[in-house]
A and B are shown apart, each in its own frame.
Chain A
Amino acid sequence: MDISLFLQFLVNGVALGSLYALLAIGFTIIFGVVGLINIAHGDFFMMAAFLAMWGVMQYNIPWYISFALAAVITVLAGLLVEKIAYRPLRKMKTSSFIGAISISFLLQNLFVVLFTARSKPFPHPALLDEVLYIGEIVLPVVNIVIVIFSAILFLALTLIVTKTNTGRAMRAVSKDIEASQLMGVNPNKIISFAFILSTSFAAAGAFLYCSKFPYVDPFTGMMPGIKAFIGAVVGGIGSIPGAMVGGFTLGLAEIMLVAFLPTLTSYRDIFAYLVLILFLLFRPGGIFNVKVREEKV
Chain B
Amino acid sequence: MSAHKKRITLVLTIILLVSVLLTSCAPAAPAAPEAEQPAAEVPAVEEVAEPEAEIPDVIKIGVNETMTGWGAPYGDMTWKGIQLAHEHKPEVLGKPIELVLVDNKSEKSESAIAAQRLVEVENVVAVIGVNSSSMAMAQNEVLDKAKIPAIGPACTNPLVTLDKPYAYRAAFIDPFQGWAAAKFATEELGAKTAVMLIDITLDYCVGLGNYFRENFIAMTGDDHSVLGYFSFQTGDRDFTAQLTQIKELDPDIVFAPNEYAEEAAILQQAKQLGLTPDIIFMAGDSADVPELVEIAGENAEGFVYTAQFHPDGYTHPEAVKFVEGFREKYGIEPETFSVTGYDAYLIMIDAIERAGSTNPDAIKAALDETDFVGARGETRFDEEGNAILGCPVIEIKDGKKTFRYIAEP
Contact = CB atoms under 8 A, between A and B. Distances in A.
Given A255-B241, A265-B241, A117 B69 contact: yes
Contacts of B273: 138
A145 B274 CA distance: 21
B241 A266 contact: no
B235 A223 contact: yes
B72 A213 contact: no
A113 to B, nearest CB: 8
Nearest to B237: A213
B232 A215 contact: no
B294 interface: yes
A168 interface: no
Contacts of B200: 266
Contacts of A255: 238, 240-241
B261 A119 contact: yes
B244 A118 contact: no
B242 interface: yes
A5 B235 contact: no
Interface string B30-72: 0000000000000000000000000000000000000011101
B236 interface: yes
A173 to B, nearest CB: 31
Contacts of B235: 219, 223
Contacts of B13: none
A116 B72 contact: yes
A223 B232 CA distance: 14
Nearest to A113: B68
Contacts of A259: 241, 244
Contact of A12 (B69, B233, B238): B238
Interface in A214-250: 214-215, 217, 219, 223
A121 interface: yes
A140 interface: yes
B302 interface: no
B9 interface: no
Interface string A257-269: 0110010011011
Contacts of B68: 112, 116-117
Contact of A214 (B69, B72, B232, B295): B295
B230 A265 contact: yes
Nearest to B68: A117
Q: Which of A120, A121, A223, A268 has the most CB of B within 10 A?
A: A121
A12 B240 contact: yes
A266 B229 CA distance: 12
B68 to A, nearest CB: 6
B73 A118 contact: yes
A273 B241 CA distance: 20
A112 B231 CA distance: 28
Grouping DSSP codes into helix (H, G, I), strand (E, B) and loop, the B interface class, with mixed when no group exceeds half, is: helix
A20 interface: no
Nearest to B261: A119
B231 A265 contact: yes
Contact of B294 (A8, A112, A121, A219): A121
B291 interface: yes
Contacts of B245: 262
A121 B264 CA distance: 10
Contacts of B291: 118-121
A16 interface: yes
A256 to B, nearest CB: 9
A140 to B, nearest CB: 5
Contacts of A215: 261, 264-265, 295
Contacts of A219: 235
Contact of B233 (A16, A121, A269): A269
Contacts of A12: 238, 240
A100 to B, nearest CB: 22
B272 A131 contact: yes
A17 B200 CA distance: 26
B260 interface: yes
B270 to A, nearest CB: 11
A217 B73 CA distance: 12
B295 A266 contact: no
Contacts of B297: 121
B268 interface: yes
A259 B297 CA distance: 27
A255 B273 CA distance: 16
Nearest to A219: B235
Contacts of B230: 262, 265
A8 B260 CA distance: 26
Contacts of A138: 272-274
A2 B178 CA distance: 36
A9 interface: yes
Given A117-B72, A215-B264, A266 B294 contact: no
Contacts of A140: 272
Contacts of A8: 240, 244
A148 B1 CA distance: 56
Contacts of A9: 240-241, 244
A205 to B, nearest CB: 14
Contacts of A266: 200, 231-233
Given A112-B68, A121-B295, A266-B200, A213 B238 contact: yes
Interface string A120-154: 11000000000100000010100000000000000
Contacts of A258: 241-242
Nearest to B201: A266
17 contacts: A5-B244, A9-B240, A117-B70, A118-B72, A121-B294, A138-B272, A140-B272, A213-B237, A213-B265, A217-B261, A223-B235, A255-B241, A258-B241, A262-B230, A262-B242, A265-B242, A269-B233
Given A119-B70, A255-B240, 9 more contacts: A117-B68, A121-B264, A215-B295, A217-B70, A259-B241, A265-B231, A265-B232, A265-B241, A265-B242
Interface of B: 68-70, 72-73, 106, 200, 230-233, 235-238, 240-242, 244-245, 260-261, 264-265, 268, 272-274, 291, 294-295, 297
Interface of A: 5, 8-9, 12, 16, 112, 116-121, 131, 138, 140, 213-215, 217, 219, 223, 255, 258-259, 262, 265-266, 268-269
Q: Which 4 A-B pairs have the closest CB atoms?
A: A258-B241, A119-B261, A213-B237, A121-B295
